[in-house]
């Protein structure tokens, strides 16, 4: 069993907690251990004034690790994105590289996203044949219905500049400036009244169109109903994912040896 403390590195910077997903050899793709460690780290940092979530370079999070996680295990995966979304303190996603599908869901669960110039974002659920979870609710709330539908229906990658333009990211900065920016913003949050910050966040969720809990319930029913990806075969999904990676390389003119999306996630 991997050391969970090593899978998510936790640092305290004053009143701000920094959580770093630390499976760089797998592009920080989520397996059972990393998902569990992420949930535990977020829960353990609820005494902070704010939390920054990032990934060990070169990726933010590649999604789910299909090499070690069979489709039959998806229902047992700890709800890492939902845990971030339910955090009682603000969370900022500092996206340092590719945030793909489950990684995009993790970033969207944060209050807002800041991005490195190396960041990219993609929702490949429809291409690998797994019905979307929170991304189907959270992405249109962030970028609007039209951009959300384009991203989710095509599976195309969105680069950092486009993410800034469509409102997916609040800021895009040179790679080395990403964490200083995130710390600057969260330190400003930490200067505010914590009770007022908590109340404002609850009120935003409660007043944002359809109540977010109801919207998520609708999509969760589709997932649990088994009509889509939960009943798919792991080999089928892996094959579809290989086609997604090949398509991504061709779109960007990258070779397999230099491809930052060459990781095991979905």
Cβ-in-10-Å burial (0-12, 13-18, 19+) of 141 comes to middle
DSSP strands (E only) in the chain: 8-13, 16-21, 50-55, 91-95, 98-100, 112-116, 120-122, 158-159, 171-173
Q: What angle do CA 223, 229, 234 make, to 5 degrees?
A: 140
Q: Are 34 and 23 in contact (CB under 8 A)?
A: yes
pLDDT higher than 60, residue 261: no
Is the whole model's pTM more than 0.85, yes or no?
no
Q: Are 91 and 246 in contact (CB under 8 A)?
A: no
Q: Are 244 and 236 in contact (CB under 8 A)?
A: no
Q: Which CATH architecture is the domain 4-252 placed in?
A: Alpha-Beta Complex (3.90)
Alpha-carbon distance of 255 to 76, in angstroms, equals 35
Q: What per-residue confidence (pLDDT) applies to 153?
A: 97
pLDDT higher than 70, residue 232: no
Read off the tokens for 72: 């039959």
What is the 3-state composition of the chain as percent helix, strand, coil, each rounded to the nearest 5?
Answer: 50, 15, 35
Q: What per-residue confidence (pLDDT) applies to 72?
A: 45
Tally Cβ neighbours within 10 Å of residue 233. 12
Length of the chain: 266
Q: Are 125 and 219 in contact (CB under 8 A)?
A: no
Domain borders along the chain are: 4-252
* Residue where the block lists tokens 């939960």: 230
Identify the bridge partners of residue 99 per DSSP, sorted by sequence position: 61, 121
Per DSSP, 9 falls in state E
Query: Which band of pLDDT confidence, cut at 50, 70 and 90, is reported for residue 262?
Result: very low
191 vs 259, higher pLDDT: 191
Q: What is the mean pLDDT of the chain?
A: 86
């Amino acid at each position: 069993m991997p050391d969970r403390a090593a899978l998510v590195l936790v640092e305290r910077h004053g009143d701000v907690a920094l959580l770093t997903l630390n499976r760089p050899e797998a592009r920080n793709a989520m397996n059972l251990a990393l998902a569990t460690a992420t949930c535990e780290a977020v829960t353990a940092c609820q005494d902070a004034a704010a939390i920054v979530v990032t990934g060990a370079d070169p990726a933010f999070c590649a999604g789910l690790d299909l090499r070690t996680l069979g489709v039959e295990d998806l229902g047992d995966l700890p709800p890492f994105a939902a845990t971030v979304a339910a955090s009682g303190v603000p969370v900022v996603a500092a996206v340092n590289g590719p945030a793909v599908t489950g990684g995009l869901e993790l970033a969207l669960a944060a209050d807002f996203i800041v991005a490195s110039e190396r960041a990219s974002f993609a929702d490949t659920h429809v291409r690998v044949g797994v019905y979307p979870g929170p991304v189907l609710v959270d992405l249109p709330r962030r970028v609007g219905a039209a951009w959300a539908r384009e991203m989710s229906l095509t599976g195309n990658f969105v680069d950092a500049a486009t993410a800034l333009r469509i409102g997916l990211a609040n800021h895009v900065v040179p790679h080395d400036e990403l964490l200083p920016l995130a710390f600057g913003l969260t330190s400003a949050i930490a200067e505010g009244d914590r009770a007022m910050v908590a109340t404002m966040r609850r009120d935003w969720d409660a007043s944002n169109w359809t109540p977010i809990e109801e919207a998520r319930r609708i999509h969760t029913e589709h997932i649990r109903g088994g009509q889509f990806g939960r009943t798919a075969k792991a080999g089928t999904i892996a094959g579809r994912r290989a086609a997604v990676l090949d398509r991504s390389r061709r779109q960007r003119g990258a070779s397999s040896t230099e491809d930052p999306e060459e990781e095991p996630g979905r």
